[in-house]
Structure 1
Amino acid sequence: MKTGFTAYIRKDFALSRRNMLIWLIVLFPIITAFGASGITETYSDTPKIVVLEKEKNQFRIPDGVQVLISATQEDLIQEVNDIDAKIGFIEGKLVTDGREPAEAVEKAKRILEEKPIESDSLSSSLFEKVYAFNLYGSFLFFGIIILFSLVEERKNKTTELQNVQPVHPAVPILSKITIASFITLFDFVICGYLLKLPFVWETAGLIILIGILLGTVLGMAMAFYASTETQALAILKPVTLVFLMAIPGLGFFLEGEIMHNIAMADPFYWLLQLVYGLYMNDLNYTYVYLSLGLSAAALCMIAANWHRTPYGIKKAKTY
């Protein structure tokens, strides 16, 4: 029987493929990214203009304003009445359905009168922050995947069997980290595409590495206190809500100095700031050094004490 690293990879991949929780974890960031990607389309106060095919050359519409072409007046009205906020131009008049923001209607009037308009009053950095927070979500479940993979092994009573296999004790753990890394990378790439991430692969690769390291630390640290699914769920609820979402999110969006200082105690806030740096093309290396330093120190401590967990090989007693 093959017991090498690739055999463990195949085994963990097969287990993950049959695990409904893993599928939900894969899909959740992608679903939220679809929602976030529509923010600029739905909530921007720059109007989307609908014109007739025969009148499309009669209007001088500024660059950056989306223009839709309709063949007939009925099609134009139907387009305006769509769920998205659009404003029609017909024979020099506005066509609205009453749901458009007042700012969008005012800008449409100025466009119709060939007057200049200001760019979005909604800051583009707000959209980028929402995008960054959603993209950060592709890292949230890394530690959860590792923890539940370990718990599942113990539940199926294969942990003790692995401990007597002729492979290094780190191989089963590295296999789980590899599978979780593939899932995270897949989510990051798909979500990055949906959320208009300006991919700089060297920088993105560094941030993905940091996300994997922090997720590994979190998952293995929680394993010290969880040996059953019930215990794992009890630990995950406060950890996910408080340390992965609430503290980083509040520090990120509120922007106050006090909240920023509080959030700086949370390593996942550093990761969130690094993801935001991808959008701003401004990588703060302070967060890089903090993340790498903490990950290295924490992984050394975990490795030295892994035998104390329900998943490690117990050290023999000496008399």
Structure 2
Amino acid sequence: MIAISNNEGASGIGATAHKLLGGAGALDAIEAGVRLVEADESVRTVGRGGWPNLLGEVELDASVMDGSTLRTGSIGALSGYLHPISIARQVLERLPHELLVGEGARRFAAEIGAEAGDLLMPHARTAWARWFAEEVDEAQRAAWPDVPMAELCKQAIDPEIGRDTTVFLAQDMAGNIGAGTSTSGWGWKYPGRLGDSPIIGAGSYADTRYGACACTGVGEMSIRAGTSRAVVLYMKMGMSVEEAVHEAVADMRSLKGGLIGRVTIHAIDTAGGHKVVAVNGLPENHYWLWREGEAEPASHPAEIIAVSEDAAPKPTAHRRYERMGL
């Protein structure tokens, strides 16, 4: 058994480990842990502690994936509900669909009796009001919200360093692997923006036969590179979890233009191995890890890799595939 979460998962990873020890399935353990992070108002990038969009509204994204069935459930641009991870889980359990967004997501949340609540906490309300007063000109304020917002989005700066989320990966007692994500997304984002968290294959992917991966940081990069699915696919092709993550980093070096920034890739394999790499990361980048036999989850530093064209090694996948006859 193994459970892993990013730095934002501190308040939930212990619950996930406890659930796994008690015989819970991977998704049940992940959901329990993520719910605690969503409820932790000190976490500025997840749940009700998160930052709002340009309109001053908190929009939440979440996803789950069952690695044994390859079924998924995702929620995007959801407002007014406290635990998007549980709503995403119910998409998986109750619907023939994989992803709901916006008004449809809210309708579904109400239909299943999900817990509603105010998401805009005082710290975020104050920060947004200060931004609105200082960065939006008088004419725009007078016409608000019926103003063009594309330039405001480009000029907006996160009120705190980082565009993060929380991600949980787990393998349960029976060997089943799952993944879960939850986020409030990029602060001051354009309304309706989806990052990688609700996009299966970009922000997360799980396959009990090979392993799982989930990403935090600038989701636009993970979407463009299909990072989480790529890592699992590289493991399927015979790479170790470490090699697979490094190959996914090499993929990111091909991205040109757009929003390029920090991404942390978290991955586990079926044998209890793991790898966490922070692309363009900061020294404080860390993650939480628990393995069977350990008393409590522990914090570990992520490997820091700078993505620059000058330092970029050539991808190794094609050579490995040639040796495999693929």
TM over 0.5: no
Greater fraction of residues in helix: 1
Greater fraction of residues in strand: 2
**Structure 2 length-normalised TM:** 0.29
**Structure 1 length-normalised TM:** 0.30
